[in-house]
A = this chain, B = another copy of it.
Amino acid sequence: MNKVDTILYCRWVIPIEPHAKIYDNYAVIIHEGKILDVLPEAKAKEQYSSDDIQHLTDHAVLPGFVNAHTHSPMVLFKGLADDLPLMEWLNDHIWPAERKWLNDEFIADGTELAIAEMIQNGTTCFNEHFFFPEVMAKTIERNKLRACIGATIINFPTSWSQDENDGFTKFQAFYQSLPRTGLLTASLAPHAPYSVTDEMLVKINHFAGEHNLTIHMHVHETAHEVDESLEKFGKRPLRRLYDLGLLSERFQCVHMTQIDQDDVELLLETGAQVTHCPESNLKLASGYSPVDLFLKKGINVALGTDGAASNNNLDMIGELRSAALIGKTIAKSAAAVTAAQALRMATLNGAKALGLANEIGSIEKGKAADLIAINLNHYNTRPIYNPISQIVYSANNTQITDVWVAGVQLLKNQQLLLIDEQQLQAKARKWQQRLQ
């Protein structure tokens, strides 16, 4: 008998790789933060023993979700201003609120609230794009979630940076201070084609190449952005990024609601990644991303919630359901963007976008033990003919009962293990009173 850290006996294991596979009555063996083995329950009982054996009798166990685009601290703006035209929402509400309120305390509290929400929603890794990266890093590290931190580089004054040069300098300092081990990585996060200069984009790309970092950027979010670029640069934003040399497998294009044939060819030629944020796109009436087309062409599509101010939550199950539903309608086929594809977008494709496909995103031997359990014995999800279908089309986030990151359990039977719920409530109330 091999003694291991943790044994999970699972009604179902959905490993993501092989695609659309479901293992019945399987065990996942966790040791030293990694997945040591995935095997039938009966065999596991012969081979492994542990002081931490968990029986997930009604549960599907999956790799944790990778939220490939979010602005965590904006959770404090959730529902602050809804149902407004896009520019009024930004100019009169979100940007003034950011200028007025963003500071270390806001970032620390907002990040912690977001982390609590993400853990309870089954997110084990997220791709951040916001200000004050040191404060975010400290908060995330303390709460043992995996994240890639991008500090937003933008060419207008914010509470954190004077301009794009200041932001880039501050990002470099942050990057130098970030430990090269552990759960945190960093990425370059230029805001958008319309808010960063050519010169800065070239610098960012050079730095990313030198340090083998990903670049995480809003691209083609709205038709207005594309029109403006055509007027100012004589080309679409994606073509401009291509001409500047930025597009590669390390580059993540977030949103991509405006697509023509040239855009598709640039993505195919360079291997640049797409990150789809369906609910934010719908809520802000930005348009649709042609996900089925991308997937059929072999372009990697990850999934993100965007910030909670434009979603309004950090719920990856809700997001992947929206991706499947809207994806079918855009493709005009009920067979497009299947449940299994939606789950893959929310896990392995996200890992790939972040350059972490060898470490996370599927339940395979040797990968990190970033895992979640979803209880399917619930009025939302019965009868159960196909657990993948039930998770994607019927379950909701509160059915997620258990979460592990690198083998450390963060949620157990729906209870947060590292975060105090009363303190969280107090922090939310404090900001609510200030901002109201």
Contact = CB atoms under 8 A, between A and B. Distances in A.
A53 interface: no
Given A312-B394, A382-B113, A83 B282 contact: no
A393 B425 contact: no
A282 B385 contact: no
A435 interface: yes
A322 interface: yes
20 contacts: A79-B385, A79-B386, A80-B385, A82-B338, A82-B389, A279-B325, A283-B328, A283-B393, A284-B334, A285-B329, A285-B331, A285-B332, A285-B336, A313-B393, A313-B394, A315-B396, A377-B425, A382-B425, A383-B435, A396-B396
A311 B396 contact: no
A339 interface: yes
Given A379-B120, A383-B78, A425-B382, A393 B282 contact: no
B383 A85 contact: no
Given A79-B393, A80-B385, 13 more contacts: A76-B383, A78-B383, A83-B339, A85-B333, A113-B382, A283-B324, A283-B325, A285-B328, A285-B334, A326-B326, A383-B435, A384-B432, A385-B435
A282 B85 contact: no
A158 to B, nearest CB: 22
A393 B312 contact: yes
Nearest to A378: B398
Interface residues of A, number: 67
A320 to B, nearest CB: 13
Interface in A119-136: 120
A326 B279 CA distance: 9
A270 interface: no
Interface in A100-130: 113, 116-117, 120
A398 B399 CA distance: 9
Most B CB contacts (10 A, CB to CB) among A311, A334, A335, A432 go to A334
A311 B393 contact: yes
A417 interface: no
B393 A285 contact: no
Contacts of A389: 79, 82-83, 312
A436 B279 contact: no
A86 interface: yes
Given A79-B394, A397-B396, A385 B432 contact: yes
Given A325-B322, A331-B285, A397-B396, A79 B311 contact: no
